[in-house]
Amino acid sequence: MRVVVGMSGGVDSSSAAALLLEQGYDVIGITLKLWPQDCVNRAEDKCCGPQAVMDARAVSHKLNIPYYLVDEAADFQKQVINYFAEEYRAGRTPNPCVMCNEKLKFGTLISRARQLGAEKIATGHFARVEPSADGSRTLLKRGRDPRKDQSYFLFSLRQDQLAQTIFPLGELTKSDTREIARECNLKTADKEESMEICFVPDKDYGKFLQDAKLVAKHQGDVVDTHGRVLGRHDGIEFYTIGQRKGLGLTSPKPLYVLELDAANNRVIVGDETMLDRDEFKVERCNWIPFAEPPASIEVTAKIRYNHPGTPATVTPLTDGSGAALVKLHIPQRAITPGQACVFYQDDLVVGGGWIAR
C-alpha cells in the first residue's frame, strides 16, 4: 500500500516514515511549504522554515523514499493566518493548530496523496485511529503516551479524513521515536521539538499581528463589571481571558481579564474569583463515534490543550445549529471563547466544539 507521510522536518514525522517503511509500505514524503519568502525571518527552524525542509529532505534521502516539497503558502494564509487574525479581532483566542490540521495536514495532504496514487496519509501525531466495533465509523483515541497525546488537536477531523489516516506513533512514547530515529541514523533523532505556534516563533502574537499588518492599534476602554472606566487599551486583540500582567492598571487587588467585548471595543476586568465558570456553549461541534449524538453525554472535557480534563455533561442542541451546552461538574478557571473544548470517554475522543462567548 502506498502512503504519503507529512514530513515536518522533526523527529516524529521522520520516525513515522521509517516505521511505515519497515512495515512494508510504499512510502512517499511530502513537506507542505506554508510560508512565503519571509519565512526565513519569521520561523527559520520551525515546521515551515528552510531548515525543516532541508531536514525532511535529508531524512527522505537516507530512507531512500521519494520526496516532494509542495507550496501551500496561499492556502495557509487564507485558512490559518486570516482565521488567526479574525478570531483575535472578534475578541476570541484562536487555536491555529487545530485549523491547520483540519484544512491542510488532513485536507490538502489527502488530495496530494490521491494525485500520487496513495491510499493513505500518515503523520507523526501521537494519537490512534481504529474502526468501531460494527465497522461503520473510524474512531479517534488518545496516544498511549499521556505526556505527548495530541488527539486534542485532531478533534475536528471528519470521518473521511480519519479513515484515510495512519498514526504510526500512536502506541509509542517520545523516547521510542527518538530511538527509532537513532537506529536509522536519521539526523533528526536528537532535534529539539518546538512547542509554540510555528508562525509566531517568539511567542509574541501581538507583534506578529501588527508586523503582518493584520491588526492595527486602536484604543478603547478597560472597564470593570459595572462599566466603570479604569484605563485604556491599544486593542482587544492584545489581551486574552485570565490575563493579569500588562493591564497598566493600579488597584488594591489584582485584576484579571474577564471578557473581551469586540462590539464595544472594551476589555472587561475583575476579581480572580470571577474567572470561574461551570456552563458555556460550544459551536460547530464534530462528533466522531456517531453521526447524530445522543440527547445527553457524560464526558471528560478539556477546555484547552494543557488542561487535565474535568467531568462534564454535554447536551447537544436540537435546533440544527450544530452547537451544544456544556455543564462542568466542577467550575473551571478562564474558559476562553475561541478555544477548542474536546470531549473524552476514557481514551476515546467523543468530539468537541469551539467555545462561544
Q: Which residues pair with 30 in a beta bridge?
A: 6, 68
Q: Which residues pair with 301 in a beta bridge?
A: 310, 343
- Which is the catalytic residue, given 39, 48, 198, 341? 198
Q: Rounded distance, CA 302 to CA 268, Å? A: 25
Contact partners, residue 145, CB within 8 Å, separation at least 6: 126, 172, 173, 174
Contact partners, residue 4, CB within 8 Å, separation at least 6: 28, 29, 30, 109, 112, 113, 116, 118, 120, 121, 122
Contact call for residues 259 and 221 (beta carbons, < 8 A)? no
Please state, in angstroms and as integers, the Cα–Cα distance from residue 88 to each residue in 205, 215, 312, following that order: 10, 9, 27
Active site residue 97: no
Q: Rounded distance, CA 208 to CA 85, Å? A: 10
Contact partners, residue 118, CB within 8 Å, separation at least 6: 2, 3, 4, 28
Active site residue 198: yes
CA 83 to chain centre: 13
Angle 295-297-303 (CA atoms, 0-180°, nearest 5)? Answer: 125
- Which is the catalytic residue, given 39, 97, 100, 285? 100
Q: Rounded distance, CA 226 to CA 216, Å? A: 28
Active site residues: 100, 198
